[in-house]
Structure 1
Amino acid sequence: MRPLYPPIEPYDHGMLEVGDGQAVYWETSGNPDGKPAVFLHGGPGGGTSPLNRRYFDPDHYRIVLLDQRGCGRSTPHIADGADLSVNTTAHLIADIEELRRKLDIERWLVFGGSWGSTLALAYAQLHPERVTELVLRGIFLLRRKEIDWYYNGSAGYVYPDEWEKFLAPVPEAERGGDLVEAYHRLLNSADSEIATAAALAWTTWESSTSSLRPDPARVAETSDSRFALAFARIENHYFRHGGFLDEAQLLRDIGAITHIPAVIVQGRHDIVCPAVSAWDLHRAWSGSRLHIVDDAGHSAAEPGIVHHLVEATDMFAAVESHG
């Protein structure tokens, strides 16, 4: 089993002014002259962490991380009142392109998991000439049936105890309707206690169901109210709007990227982003390589997931990028 690479520190970082009063945090680590790779985090609203650098061989890659609008170290933060009207998939794609130009990168490998896989696909389909390879994990195509599976009851059949906690902030009269909409009202309540309680419930539902085995450390890590407010509000904003994508757009437009080498890594027991989405993507993209990990859920940190992700970046490290 391939492990993560050892921890490293960035050799450069900064804040990129992208307009709309927004500044995006970015950093670079690894080999300044190496093959460029950009890591797109999940959520949306999750932010990056030092762990994200470790999926790449630092001797071979110039590793680029960024915190998407409104979260992580980007400003303004959602907890500080950032404007969600200027936070859409189109804005994020434009930010990625702005950062690519700033760093003077011609082409790069794009790595994304969960929402990061959604954004990676959308970015690549709009800018295929900028992408050398794709490494995707925990596929999320942002179809309505995927939202309903996870937020409107079906996943609760697998985690009834955690589902009960997720329902707790929602008034009983609203529990039979669209819970994404119910949570939108709660998360944007003028009462900060109601908003924070809803954010913590939303975030805890995801962190409690993301790995094959319980991970109390992950639940505790995401229980910070500032993180939870950004994570829940941004996710809810995107999911209410279908990710600002047309239904099934990412499969419909797959022809734009079928020439790009791709590895898809998917946990068999992923409750957050069920394996059917990875399967549908692979079937539409015959040249992709799909690894279904039988002893894994959604988390990128599970051993079998790590193994195939690192194996993929190692395989692509030797491919000339002209970056």
Structure 2
Amino acid sequence: MNDFYPDIEPYNHFLLPVDDQHEIYIEECGNPNGQTILFIHGGPGGGCSAKDRRFFNPEKFRIILFDQRGCGRSLPHGCLKNNTTTALVEDIEKIRNKLAINSWHVFGGSWGSTLSLVYAQAYPEKVKSLTLRGIYLGREQDTNWTFAGGGATRIYPDYWQEYLNCLPEGAAQGTVQAAYKVMIGEDKALAMKVAKAWSIWEIRCCTLIPDQKFVDEATADERAWTLARHEAHFMFNKCFLSENQILNHCGKIKDIPTTIVHGRYDIVCPYDNAWQLHLKLPNSRLITSEGAGHSSSEPNTRHHLINATNALVD
């Protein structure tokens, strides 16, 4: 099975001012003369990691990674002001223009798939292909599945109860709106406690086989702070999308070659998200990652994603 490519370091990295407050961290890796591919991370608020460079053959790709507003190495850290889906889409265009790229391949998973799709629908002529994983369509029903006592909580009721136990009012605060209010409140210690619990709940649901090391790495305090607060911020605001926006606008991207990889047993973003997207993009290729959940690191999913990126340059 295809495994990650070896660790690599960026040959260039910098901060790009995108408004009067936010600066976006950007890095370039691999072959400066290769096919350009943009990696869009999940969350919102997840940030990029060294592992994210390793889905791509570094001899054939010019790999562009960036941390979205307020997370990872972007500044100011944790900032939610002027942090919207439209702003993130325009940041991507600013990156493309800054690097003088005419068009590029786009790769995104989870929230990264959402942002990839919205970007492609806004700028279809700039996108050579889409490689998407763990589809999240940004609808209220998709948020409720995971964070409002929906289906995920019926599959992992023990994990969900541990999350509720960290809320001051328990189950009475078990909504996105209530948790968000706490996490942006004045009590920073309580906000951090809830952010940590939110992140642990989600990340524990990401892999089919429990993986404590994966949970620990993804929920360190700094990562948990931006992951939970950014996610709640976007979900509270319905991801700054109109009702069913992504599926309704699929006609704009019907001619972009698209590969969708989705875990059969994805509890964070259920498989029907990928299925519905595939039906709206009949020329897309839907690959079911059997024996896998939501994480891009699970062996079957990793295999399919690396196969998909290799196919772009074969």
The two structures have a TM-score, normalised by structure 2, of 0.97
Give the 3-state SS of the residue equivalent to 1:175 in structure 2.
Answer: helix
Query: Where does residue 111 of structure 1 map in the other structure?
Result: 107
Are positions 1:34 and 2:30 aligned together?
Answer: no
| C-alpha separation in 1, matches of 2:173 and 2:22 | 34
Query: Where does residue 19 of structure 2 map in the other structure?
Result: 19
Q: Deviations over 1:68-115 (max 9, x none)?
A: 00000000001xxx2x23000111011110011111100000000000
Query: Where does residue 188 of structure 1 map in the other structure?
Result: 184
Query: Where does residue 144 of structure 1 map in the other structure?
Result: 140
Any conservation in 1 of the 2:29–2:64 contact (CA below 8 Å)? yes
Shift of 1:20: 3.0
| C-alpha separation in 1, matches of 2:305 and 2:118 | 20
Any conservation in 2 of the 1:196–1:229 contact (CA below 8 Å)? yes
Query: Where does residue 48 of structure 2 map in the other structure?
Result: 48
Shift of 1:189: 2.1
Are positions 1:168 and 2:176 aligned together?
Answer: no
Give the 3-state SS of the residue equivalent to 1:26 in structure 2.
Answer: strand
User: What is the aligned counterpart of 2:295 among 285, 293, 299?
Assistant: 299
Q: Deviations over 1:141-196 (max 9, x none)?
A: 01111111111112111111110111113344x73576101101111121111101
Any conservation in 2 of the 1:20–1:86 contact (CA below 8 Å)? no
Are positions 1:237 and 2:233 aligned together?
Answer: yes
What is the letter of the counterpart of residue 152 of structure 2?
Answer: A
| C-alpha separation in 2, matches of 1:200 and 1:11 | 33
What is the letter of the counterpart of residue 136 of structure 2?
Answer: F
Q: Deviations over 1:224-255 (max 9, x none)?
A: 22221111111100001111011111000000
What is the letter of the counterpart of residue 164 of structure 1?
Answer: Q
The two structures have a TM-score, normalised by structure 1, of 0.95
| C-alpha separation in 1, matches of 2:197 and 2:130 | 33
Give the 3-state SS of the residue equivalent to 1:86 in structure 2.
Answer: coil
Any conservation in 2 of the 1:14–1:26 contact (CA below 8 Å)? yes
Any conservation in 2 of the 1:22–1:75 contact (CA below 8 Å)? yes
Moved over 2 A (4+): 169-172, 174-178
| C-alpha separation in 1, matches of 2:107 and 2:256 | 13
What is the letter of the counterpart of residue 62 of structure 2?
Answer: R
What runs of 5+ residues in structure 2 fail to find an aligned partner? none
| C-alpha separation in 2, matches of 1:306 and 1:223 | 21
| C-alpha separation in 1, matches of 2:281 and 2:166 | 41
Give the 3-state SS of the residue equivalent to 1:19 in structure 2.
Answer: coil
What is the letter of the counterpart of residue 64 of structure 2?
Answer: V
Of 280-289 and 226-235, more deviation after overlay is shown by: 226-235
Give the 3-state SS of the residue equivalent to 1:20 in structure 2.
Answer: coil
What percent identity do the matched residue pairs reach? 46
Are positions 1:100 and 2:96 aligned together?
Answer: yes
| C-alpha separation in 2, matches of 1:236 and 1:221 | 20
Query: Where does residue 278 of structure 2 map in the other structure?
Result: 282
Any conservation in 2 of the 1:262–1:289 contact (CA below 8 Å)? yes
What is the letter of the counterpart of residue 162 of structure 1?
Answer: Y
| C-alpha separation in 1, matches of 2:226 and 2:212 | 21
What is the letter of the counterpart of residue 65 of structure 1?
Answer: L
